[in-house]
Structures are given as structure tokens and as C-alpha cells.
Amino acid sequence: MTREPRIVEVRRNILRKNDLAARELRERFRGAGVFVVSLVSSPGSGKTAFLERTLASLGARFKVAALVGDLATENDAARLARSGALVRQIVTGAVCHLEAEMVRSALEGWMPPALDFLFVENVGNLVCPASYDLGESLRLVLLSVTEGEDKPLKYPPIFHGADLAVITKCDLAEAVGFDWQAAARSVEAVHPGLPVLRVSAKTGAGMAEWLAVCARLRAEAISAASSAAS
């Protein structure tokens, strides 16, 4: 006589290890007063150009650094280092996304003291990074005008998990006939209320507004952390 299989309740988060590592990172960043901004997007949406300009501008007033995830090359780190910021590349090999543990180990013995901002550029991919918390304070999703207005509808998890959407390459919007209203509708459909900024890293349009938002959110995070501590 064969016995029936028994059902054992488990209820375990599959990404528990990552979530724990991310929580540790978040606490560590908060303790050190570092505001961590991560960037996700599809390949070629202009993450590196946007970050290059951001680092150069913020670097005049703040201590900034960046971690850059890439499958194979160190080109992006070399580009970003020209801004004068401290930059470290995470070459992920075959891995299509960053995980909290990769961020932790990249910071090991490297994280500069008294840092104000740390930017973490994820691997260009709108699917896999959605599952992994990196301990960041702010997650940006970038969408370039050359990609089409319905990207959010095709990739709901990544747009839903972001705190701010940045539409890049705005200088090309007219040339490609980008429909701003359609883009706003698709963002709203997958993440009601998600703030959207428009920038062009090439002309600098919209960068001042983004930098002001970035500095304001950091100030708010610091005051929230100090009032929680007191």
C-alpha cells in the first residue's frame, strides 16, 4: 500500500537572503548618512549619460560616488570617472541584474567615508532587476523617448517598483514624434501617482529640476532619520 504524500506548510520568501542583505545595507546607509539612488532601464536608454551629468553637477557641492553594473565591460565606469566622482564597476558576468550581496561586496573596503550620495547603476534590463531590493533610498526607472510610450505597460513590475520615472533624451522627442500624453497615461496605468521628470543629458534640459529633487529627497531622508533617532 502506498501512502499519500503529506503536505507541509512552509511559507518562505524565496528571495529572503537578498531581502535580508538589502535591509542590512539600508540600515548601514542610513547610519552613515548616505542617500542611495539606483537606476534601472533598458539597455541604451541613456543611464550612463544621465549619471555622468548628475555626478558632475552634484560633485560640485556633495561627495558623490557610483557603482556601475555591467555584464562584460568596464566602459561605463571609465566614462563616469571622468566626472571626477569615485566609481567602481561591478562586472556581473552572465548575471542580468544586481543583487544586494553584489552591492555589499563591491562596497567592502571601498565605500568612501563621509559620502553624501551613492548612485547604483543596474544592468540594462527592464525585467530581472525588478525582483531585487538593493537597499537603495530611491529607485529611478529611466525611459528614453526613442523607446516608445507604452514601455511601462510592457514591463509593469519595474515601473511599479520605482519611486520616480525619468524620461530621457527629450531633445529627440520632437524628431521621433514622442507622445507625452500617451507616455503619461501608460505610467499612470501601472503606477498611479508616480512622479515623472523629463531630461536631456545632452542639452542639460530638466537636469536642474532633477538635481533639486535629488537634493531635497536626501535632506528629507536625513531629517527623517535624525528625528527617528532622537
Partner 1 sequence: MHELSIALSIVEMAEERAEWMEARVAAVRVRIGPLSGVVPEALASAFDMAIEGTALAGARLVIEESPVVILCARCGERRPLPSASDFRCPVCGAPASEVVGGAELLVTALEVNP
The minimum distance between CB 125 and partner 1, in angstroms, equals 9
CB nearer to partner 1: pick between 52 and 121: 121
CB nearer to partner 1: pick between 175 and 189: 189
* Residue 196, H or E segment: strand 196-198
CB nearer to partner 1: pick between 126 and 170: 126
The minimum distance between CB 193 and partner 1, in angstroms, equals 7
Cβ(158)–Cβ(141) below 8 Å: yes
The minimum distance between CB 148 and partner 1, in angstroms, equals 14
The minimum distance between CB 95 and partner 1, in angstroms, equals 8
Q: What are the E-state strand segments in 64-206? A: 64-70, 86-91, 117-121, 138-144, 164-168, 196-198
Task: Enumerate binding residues for partner 1 (CB under 8 A).
Answer: 3, 5-15, 17, 95-97, 127-131, 152-153, 156-158, 160-161, 188-193
State whether residue 125 is helix, strand or coil: coil
Cβ atoms within 10 Å, residue 10: 5
State whether residue 183 is helix, strand or coil: helix
Distance CA(169)–CA(56), nearest Å, equals: 18
CB nearer to partner 1: pick between 52 and 70: 70
